[in-house]
Amino acid sequence: MRFYVTTAIDYVNAKPHIGHAYEKVIADIIARFQRLRGKKVFFLTGTDENAQKNSQAAKEAGIPTKKFVDRNVKYFKELTGILNISNDHFIRTTEESHIKISQNIFKKVLDKGDIYKGFYQGLYCEGCESYLTEKDLVDGKCPEHQKPPKPLKEEAYFFKLSKYKDQIIKLLESPTFVIPKEKRNEMLSRIKSDELKDLCVSRKGLNWGIDIPVDKKHKIYVWFDALINYVSALDYPDGKKFKEFWPADAHVIGKGINWFHSVIWPAMLISAGIKPPRTILVHGYLTVNGQKISKSLGAQIDPAEIVKRYEADHLRYFFAKEIPMGEDGDFSSKNLADRVNNELVANISNFCYRTLSFINRYSESRIGKIARGEWEKKLLKEIEKKIENIHKCYLDYNFRDAIKQILEIGDIGNRYFQGNEPWVLIKNDPGKCKEVLAFSANIVKDLAILLKPIIPEFAGKVEKQLNLKDLKWRDLKKPLENHRTGKAKILFRKIEGKVS
């Protein structure tokens, strides 16, 4: 009856961009869907503040690191409001409790003999904050950061990752451990072909980060502490939330950090005597008008600017409909406007508004007896089947196909409304007209429930206009009859004018 979903925590070396928005929306759809079906949900997001990257960016900005991260964290917190993200908690890894818990887990793994002292020599990418192997490089450069890594040798602590190879392979062989399966196969073939080396989990001589509890000359490698946020936010080991919500049901992450989550993280957990998470859900990267996200795109990649011009629901809908889970996708205002105008306005909003305003006008704002003829019976069967499929799509994190079928229900509603011509029927057979409108209103109610995880503002408006509150998935099965409605209002307007 409980469900724990997380996003990755974000570096705060710059303001959030549209890629951050995408990940948060995915996790939010999952959280809202699980609440809708009656689960108790804990939804976590937050910021990764101990990274050297943050400290470097602060230095460049000429601001003390703590002040710099405090300032940027604000933008990430604001983003959750802008996008209607329903997170239950926002963790910052500079919080005292996170620091203590990270040190506690480090010590636990050390005491177990899974962390030992040695020397590290390798190629270090400052962008990744991680050592790379020759194999990772493309033309001698880190493919992610387009810079050659620096050779580095230092005294260091190592985590015995190699010891857990067989257990991790076993985890990865479960079809639900990493979704989608292409991303699982990538990890499986990498872990099987590579000799799994021990992982360096310390950095010497830094003045930013979490101290290794037994050796103050070293800081805990930022990835080691960052991953721990998922349990420190639940007050591991004795917190009520930890007992209730761990293991996580879904860690939502970008493809670039899959290895850290599906190989390193479970090994750390097993070593510390903690259960591994249930699912790592991997999404792709976004481009904007075909271009890779970079600072030079400016306002084009700023989710706050995009939502200013459109609506949070527009952007959320676009993400869910346009980008198949696990694949890369492209954002453009033109595509967003097309989706909004052709789908949300022409189909969903049009049907809901017509039905609700006709009920205002021709049925004294009442949903009375529902039409139950042959046509309606046939349509109900079709809708029921689609609802079942939509449920399955949501559970499989396939939001795109969920929406496709929701739009088909919208089509059914539109065809039914148009075919009955209630504006004519009201003159010839007002009783029948009201029954038709009541049948239509029940489809409106279903659409609001089905779309609630994706476009919550829309669903809230429909609920209000139906004079209902807090609809749940189970309300799909309850016919709405003998009920007074509220006042109909237009739900989505066409995006007009030039879109860039």
Give the residues lining the site for Zn ion (CB under 5 A): 125, 127-128, 142, 144-145
E-strand ranges in 128-272 read 130-132, 150-159, 178-179, 199-200, 202-204, 211-212, 215-220, 250-254
Residue 8 CB, nearest distance to Zn ion (Å)?
Answer: 16
Q: Cβ(248)–Cβ(278) under 8 Å?
A: yes
Tokens of 221: 């490698």
- C-beta closer to Zn ion: residue 257 or 451: 257
Which strand (E) or helix (H) includes residue 443? helix 430-451
CA atoms within 13 A on the CB side of 346: 10
The residues assigned a catalytic role are 17, 20, 125, 128, 142, 145, 292, 295
Q: Cβ(17)–Cβ(99) under 8 Å?
A: no
The C-alpha R_g of the chain, in whole angstroms, comes to 26
Return the number of other C-beta atoms located less than 10 Å from residue 14's C-beta. 13
Q: Cβ(172)–Cβ(187) under 8 Å?
A: yes
**CA angle 406–410–413, rounded 5-degree value:** 140
CA–centroid distance for 371 within its chain: 40
Return the number of other C-beta atoms located less than 10 Å from residue 345's C-beta. 18
- C-beta closer to Zn ion: residue 145 or 334: 145
Q: Cβ(344)–Cβ(314) under 8 Å?
A: yes
Q: Which residues pair with 91 in a beta bridge?
A: 46
- C-beta closer to Zn ion: residue 145 or 377: 145
Q: Cβ(348)–Cβ(407) under 8 Å?
A: yes
Q: Which residues pair with 158 in a beta bridge?
A: 116, 200
Rounded Cα distance, 167 and 147, in Å? 34
Rounded Cα distance, 251 and 42, in Å? 12
Rounded Cα distance, 116 and 199, in Å? 10
Rounded Cα distance, 37 and 32, in Å? 9
